[in-house]
Structure 1
Amino acid sequence: MHFKTVALIGRYQDSGLDAPLRKLAATLQAAGCKVLIEADTAKNTGITEHDAASYKEIGEQADLAVVMGGDGTMLGAARQLACSHVPLIGINHGRLGFITDIPLHTANDALASVINGNFETEERVLLEGNVVRDGETLFSGVALNDVVLNRAGRGGMIDVRVELDGVFMYSQRADGLIVATPTGSTAYSLSANGPIVHPNLSAILLVPVAPQTLSNRPIVLPDSGTLSLTITALGRVESGASVHFDMQTWSDCQAGDCINVRRAKNTIRFIHPTGYSIFSTLRRKLYWNHMPQTSDEDE
């Protein structure tokens, strides 16, 4: 058996999550797996019939983590488990779900098939970075989707100097800048007119948010370098800026601060049922070729 111990992680804020989680646990037990429930998930769903485990314990004991929720739940679990190299499989209990790609109604059959060895693996890169002021690191974080620098509240645009490995690229005035992984190319970057990048590419996206000069366009860069975003000016005296590593936020950026972003050393391994295709996911989520189907090969 590939996965002897399996952890269940859920978006416990959702009402009624206990029932589908219990069904998954029963499927896993029937296949001979030991089941762990992430501690906050267990506490908030009332699932006490299985051992509760912290993320640290999941990293030490689990062979697979099953994440039920939306992409935000997967982002949080991925950051927590990146160092332990526990693979993740995502079940969509949210809305769009690009990385929680298994529909809820097929979850039990899909998981049973994966436990029986019918799966594919995929490595996804992460970003790591920090906020530096006068040589002092104020904040550091890891992101699976993106690192976003943006203006705070109703403040004016921010001026940013961008360098790659110390080489000047450009200065830009905009509402913000998005540094995204290929995984994050279907997140905030996509809504800012960034390109969709295949997750197997070794690339980092740099996407401006509402730039003052319309000729400032998204650019795809090699992921072997370090991007440095230096805030050279804020739009107003009272303005501020913030930086977000996925859902982790540093909200006290000032003029002169530098945000350094690079590819992280660790990667995340996703597990998919056999037959998974990123293009099928894109067709389904973005309604590509939305017309009467002539075959059922995609669904």
Structure 2
Amino acid sequence: MADRFKHVALVGKTQAHGFRPVLEEVAQFLLGLGLEVSVEAATAEANGLTGYDALPPEALGRDCDVAVVVGGDGTMLGFARQMASYGIPLVGINQGRLGFITDISKERYREVLPPILAGTYEVESRGMLEGQVLRGGEAIYTGLALNDVVVSRGGNSGMVELRIHVGDERVANMRADGVIVSTPTGSTAYALSAGGPILHPSIAGWVLVPIASHTLTNRPIVLPDAGPVRMEIVSGRDTSVNFDMQRLASLLVGDEIVVRRSAHSVKFLHPKGWSYYATLRKKLRWYEG
């Protein structure tokens, strides 16, 4: 059993109406457990939360020892990237739709949170991607992603053609609507919708998935996460790249997107007895007979 947590960072949606009562309820519950509570500054401002320390992410990373994220997977993704370098474990209360990584239901948090915050939990580490956009050999953009890095065509343009290398080896030229490089966490997100496989989070690998490929034999492929993936734009107008929800538009022919394993990882805390397969059964409706 781990030590009891003492100082909680509370994070929630910043673009949802009527979210303040939920955050107030969770904050008061945490205070009632004898914990110190600080609210992420953007969350406090967007939801009109007063009476709590409102701190920017870097201060939360420095001062808090655990974070409770109230929202959907998008809220968790954004905050997880901000906290990656601090190593703070994250607990997710689901106020979204699917909730693969915010997996505690709002109806059960009063039952589930106390044991976790007292030090009884399942801990899970998820790897991240980091990448650069290179133009003429110079980095014009860098980013982190917990889910995926997606290169895609412009909204009013034709296909994009990408020259793909893994490590020092050329893989293929792919003409498609785009290409996804996904972590195991992201394998249940966009990559799954595009026809990719589900990777268990313990697998040290990535999935490379073409989106609506021009060539039917361009299939998803599971890659080791040891070497970088390089994607050079051979043709295509208004091509963009997304690192999770961070977007860089108007890439040029000759630009190169380089994706590699990040030195940082994200630590999630789950209730005792938590199972990844049970999560898949529930979220993907793999009902038992």
- What TM bracket, shorter-length normalisation? over 0.9
Name the amino acid aligned to 1:157: M
1:126 paired residue number: 128
Superposed counterparts of 1:246-257, under 5 Å: 246-257=244-255
Name the amino acid aligned to 2:76: M
- Return the TM-score normalized by structure 2: 0.97
1:295 paired residue number: none
Partner of 1:124, secondary structure, is strand
| Equivalent-residue separation in structure 1 for 2:286 and 2:167 (angstroms) | 38
**Contact map agreement 1:42 1:48 (CA 8 A) in 2:** yes
| Equivalent-residue separation in structure 2 for 1:50 and 1:150 (angstroms) | 42
Q: Name structure 2 gaps, 5 residues minimum.
A: none
Partner of 1:3, secondary structure, is coil
Partner of 2:85, secondary structure, is helix
| Equivalent-residue separation in structure 1 for 2:119 and 2:235 (angstroms) | 54
Superposed counterparts of 1:178-193, under 5 Å: 178-193=180-195
Partner of 1:83, secondary structure, is coil
**Contact map agreement 2:163 2:233 (CA 8 A) in 1:** yes
| Equivalent-residue separation in structure 2 for 1:45 and 1:249 (angstroms) | 25
Which residue of 69, 85, 88 corresponds with 2:87? Answer: 85
For this pair of structures, how many residues does the alignment match? 287
CA distances 1:88-109 after superposition (whole Å, capped 9, x unpaired):
1111111111111111111122
CA distances 1:87-146 after superposition (whole Å, capped 9, x unpaired):
111111111111111111111221112112221111000000011111111111000000
2:272 paired residue number: 274
2:39 paired residue number: 37
**Contact map agreement 2:5 2:118 (CA 8 A) in 1:** no
Name the amino acid aligned to 1:72: G
Q: 1:290: Cα distance to partner?
A: 5.9
| Equivalent-residue separation in structure 2 for 1:70 and 1:241 (angstroms) | 28
**Contact map agreement 1:23 1:108 (CA 8 A) in 2:** no
1:199 paired residue number: 201
| Equivalent-residue separation in structure 2 for 1:252 and 1:243 (angstroms) | 9
Superposed counterparts of 1:78-227, under 5 Å: 78-227=80-229
Name the amino acid aligned to 1:267: S
Name the amino acid aligned to 2:283: K
**Contact map agreement 1:3 1:64 (CA 8 A) in 2:** yes
1:17 paired residue number: 19
**Contact map agreement 1:9 1:41 (CA 8 A) in 2:** yes
Partner of 2:84, secondary structure, is helix
Moved more, 22-31 or 33-42: 22-31
Moved more, 23-32 or 203-212: 23-32
Q: 1:157: Cα distance to partner?
A: 0.5
CA distances 1:203-252 after superposition (whole Å, capped 9, x unpaired):
01100000011111100111011000011112xxxx22000000111102
Q: 1:183: Cα distance to partner?
A: 0.2
Q: Name structure 1 gaps, 5 residues minimum.
A: 292-299
Superposed counterparts of 1:228-239, under 5 Å: 228-234=230-236, 239=237
1:265 matches 2:267: no
1:245 paired residue number: 243
Name the amino acid aligned to 2:134: V
**Contact map agreement 2:227 2:260 (CA 8 A) in 1:** yes
Backbone CA RMSD of aligned residues: 1.1
2:7 paired residue number: 5
Partner of 1:217, secondary structure, is coil
